[in-house]
Amino acid sequence: MSAVISAKGLTKRYGKQLAVDNVSFEIPAGRIIGLIGPNGSGKTTTLKAALGLIPFEGDLKVLGLDPRIQRDELMQQVCFIADVAILPRWLRVRDAVDFVAGVHPKFDRAKAERYLSHTKLTPSMKVKQMSKGMIVQLHLALVMAIDAKLLVLDEPTLGLDILFRKQFYQNLLEDYFDEQKTIIVTTHQVEEIEHILSDLMFISEGKIVLSATMDEVGERFTEVMVPADKVEAAKALKPIDERQVFGKSIMLFDGVPRTQLAAFGETRNVGIADLFVATMKGTYA
C-alpha cells in the first residue's frame, strides 16, 4: 500500500506566524507513530491539516485523498480523538451509539456495546454524570467500533489518572490496532506510549527535527554513564547532550558505535523522554 500520509512542502501560516514550516514526510500503513513536540511546535496544526480542518499550502495526501477537497470521503476512513471531549451534557450513552450508527457506514454497534459492557457506563447514563475518564472510554468505544484505516489521537489521555491511561493504550493495542490500520498519537506523557510505538517524529518550531523507526532510534542513539576520570575522553566523541546524575555524567551519543562507547562506561538505550529533552534543548528559552 502507498503511504497513508504523504506531505511535501506542507506549510501553514496564521497571519505572520509560521506554524508549520515547509515539512515533508511519509507515514506507511500498519504503524503507530508518536508525533512529539513542545506546545506551539506545530503538531496539532499538522494533524488538523491532515484531517481537512484547516487550509494549508503544499501537497498533502491522506489515504490518497486531498483533505482540502475530498474531506467527506476521507472522514469515512479516519477517526479522531482530541484532548477536549466535546459532547452535550444531556447526551446519554445509548444516544451516542445510535448517532454514530446512523451516520457512519463502517460502525459496528455490537463491537461498541461489547466494549462498553466492560466499563461502568450504562446505556442511560448522561455525559454530565461521567468523569473525564468515562467520557474517554465512551469515545474509545465509539472509535474502536469503526473500521477506520487511520486513527488520530491528539493528547487522548490528558487529565486522566494513570490507571485510565494505561487501560486506554492497552485497549488500543488489543481491540483496535492491526497491520491494516495506522495510529498517530501526540502526548506529553511520552514514557507511557514508548512501548507501543513503531515510529517516532519530533517536531519543533514547525519543522520535523527527527523522524525514525524505534529500531533506528535504538541503533542510532546510546546513553553512557561516564565516571569522572573518563569524562574528557568521552567528550572528544562529541555527545549531543550531557547531564549529571549522582555525581556521574550521562552522555548521549548519536551514531557512535556502542562497542566504542563501552570503553567509557555503562551503555544503555535512551528513553524517548530523555531523547526529546536533549533534542529540544533551547526550544523553551
Report the Cα 82 to chain-centroid distance in Å: 11
Residue 154 has pLDDT above 60, yes or no: yes
Q: For 29-55, what is the mean pLDDT? A: 92
Q: Which of 174, 205, 236 is the last residue of a domain?
A: 205
| CA–CA distance, 101 with 110 (Å, rounded to integer) | 10
Residue-wise pLDDT tens digits, 166-177: 877 887 787 777
Residues 129 and 161 in one domain: yes
| CB-CB contact of 233 with 282 (8 Å) | no
Residues 48 and 103 in one domain: yes
Confidence of residue 285 (pLDDT cuts 50, 70, 90): very low
Q: How confident is the model at residue 144 (pLDDT cuts 50, 70, 90)?
A: confident
Strand ordering across the sheet containing 248-254: 241-245, 248-254, 221-226, 266-268
pLDDT tens, residue by residue, 47-95: 999 999 999 999 999 999 999 999 999 988 998 887 666 788 899 999 9
Model pLDDT for residues 213-226, shown as the tens digit of each residue: 999 999 999 999 99
Same domain, 187 and 272: no
Same structural domain for residues 165 and 70? Answer: yes
180 and 258 inside one domain: no
Q: In Å, what is the CA distance from 113 to each residue of 21, 80, 101?
A: 43, 19, 12
Task: Assess whether 88 and 195 both reside in one domain.
Answer: yes
Question: Do residue 173 and residue 46 come from a single domain?
Answer: yes
CATH number of the domain where residue 187 is located: 3.40.50.300
Quickly state the pLDDT bin for 283 (edges 50, 70, 90).
Answer: very low
Provide the residue range defining the domain that includes 244. 217-280
Q: In 135-181, at which residue ranges do the beta strands (DSSP E only) sit?
A: 150-154
Is the pLDDT at 106 greater than 90? The verdict is no
Angle between helices 93-103 and 109-116 (to 10 degrees): 160
Q: Measure Cα distances from 230 to 101, 145, 224, 254, 261 in Å.
A: 64, 56, 11, 18, 11
Between residues 276 and 143, the one the model is more confident about: 276
Taking phi first (over 0 means left), then psi (-120 to 50 degrees means alpha), and beta for anything else, what does residue 205 get? left
Q: What is the pTM of this model?
A: 0.86
Do residues 154 and 80 touch, judged by C-beta distance below 8 A? yes
Query: Is 210 a member of any domain?
Result: no
Q: What is the mean pLDDT of the chain?
A: 89
What is the band of 180 on the pLDDT scale with cuts at 50, 70, 90? Answer: confident
Confidence (pLDDT) at 210 = 93
pLDDT at 219: 94
pLDDT of residue 84: 60
Per 3-state DSSP, the chain is made up of helix, strand and coil in percentages (nearest 5) of: 35, 30, 35
In this structure, the answer to whether residues 62 and 137 fall within a common structural domain is yes
pLDDT of 260 higher than 70: yes
